[in-house]
Structures are given as structure tokens and as C-alpha cells.
Amino acid sequence: MNNLIICGKANQDIPVKKLRMNKTDEVWLCGTDIREGADLYFEIHGIKVPHKNVITKFDDEVIYNESGISPSNTISGMMIYAWLHGYKNITLLGCPMIIKEYPQQRITVVQLVHYLNRHGCNVVWEEMNMATAQKNAEKQAPETKEVQEKEVHSSKMVKAKFKTVICASYGTFQPHQVAEVPEDIFKDLEKAGLVEKAS
């Protein structure tokens, strides 16, 4: 099995070919990442993206996996997906997870790193160290910061009733569950037929 690099969007200024340490390394990116050339993309929020090879949903085997840790964001879902598909050597890059909503979800990634390393994997996440995460977040390229600023959600919240299981950066939701989500996210999910307005 090839080495796998799971990359967040905090280093979008680095091309995919430079992320590969060896020619045989695989690179997985988030679906809204601007970079082309990854082996697989993950967009589980119902947002249409221009890439090919896109995973748009985490199956029950990912959500209810034997670790007992449900994914709380795309990166943690990608880690579980990789583990279930036999990847042993996993490197996490470009995911300091200290801005916006991510500090609360960071614990899931930390738990998974420890769990997978105790169960036959070699997972390396340099940014698990908070000082390193802070340093890497501060040195982001200007164009990366600009992309992140464009992604800030509207502040208006909408009550959504979920039609299927969704694991997203703002939480994991079950069918028929009602929860508040940012309006712009709701619109994307509604277009994809994944939610409806709750009464």
C-alpha cells in the first residue's frame, strides 16, 4: 500500500506534486481545495466542485467504525476512510485546525492519531503540537488566507432537518435530526437534497 498524504487547505500555495515525498505517494485533498492533481477529493457538504474522483458521502462503515470515534470534520473522516481501506503510513499536512470552528473539532483528529498509531498505523501530524500549528497558521501564504476569508460563512443560522447522515465541519447529523446551520451551508445542502427547513 502506498504512503498517503492527507492535506488540509492551510497550505494551498504548495502544488500537489510538491506534497508528494515519493513518486508513489498518494495525495487526498478536501473537495473545495483549489489545487488540481490529487488522487482523491472529499466533499461531503453537498457543494459542487470541479474535481474528478470525489467522495461525496461517508458511508456508515466510516461513521460507525470500530474505533468508536465518529468523524467531526472532513480530515477525521478521511483518516478513518484511509484506515478502513488498508493505508498504514499516513501523513497529515496543512491542517493546523486552530481557526474558525476547528479548535473544537481538533480533539477528534488527535484521538484518531493516537488510536491509529496504537492499531498498526504510522500517522504523522506535525501540527498536533499547538506551537507548530500556530506557527504554520501564521506563515500561510497571502493567497491562502484570502481563500479562507472568502469561505467564512454567513452569520445567519437556519433550522435544518437532515434527510441523511452527514459528517461536516460543523458536526455529525443523523436522519430526521434538527439543527441550526449557517444559511449559506443550508442552501447548498438543500440544493443537494440532503436537508429541508425544519418547522
Q: Which amino acid is at 105?
A: Q
**pLDDT band at residue 168, thresholds of 50, 70 and 90?**
low
- Residue 150's pLDDT is what? 45
Share of the chain above pLDDT 90, in %: 43
Q: Which residues pair with 166 in a beta bridge?
A: 173
3 three-state secondary structure: coil
Residue 8: half-sphere exposure toward Cβ, Cα within 13 Å: 27
- Residue 79's pLDDT is what? 97
- Residue 143's pLDDT is what? 44
Sign, CA dihedral 66-69-73-78, equals negative
**pLDDT band at residue 59, thresholds of 50, 70 and 90?**
very high
**65-120 pLDDT per residue, tens:** 999 998 988 999 999 999 999 999 999 998 888 776 667 778 889 899 999 999 99
The one-character DSSP state at 36 is: -
Better pLDDT: 190 or 16: 16
Helix H, strand E, coil C: the string for 112-138 is HHHHHHHCCCEEEEHHHCHHHHHHHHH
Residue with cell 449559506: 184
Residue among 73, 104, 99 at smallest CA distance from 10: 99
**144-166 pLDDT per residue, tens:** 444 444 444 445 788 888 887 66
| Cβ–Cβ under 8 Å, residues 169 and 101 | yes
CA distance 196 to 184: 13
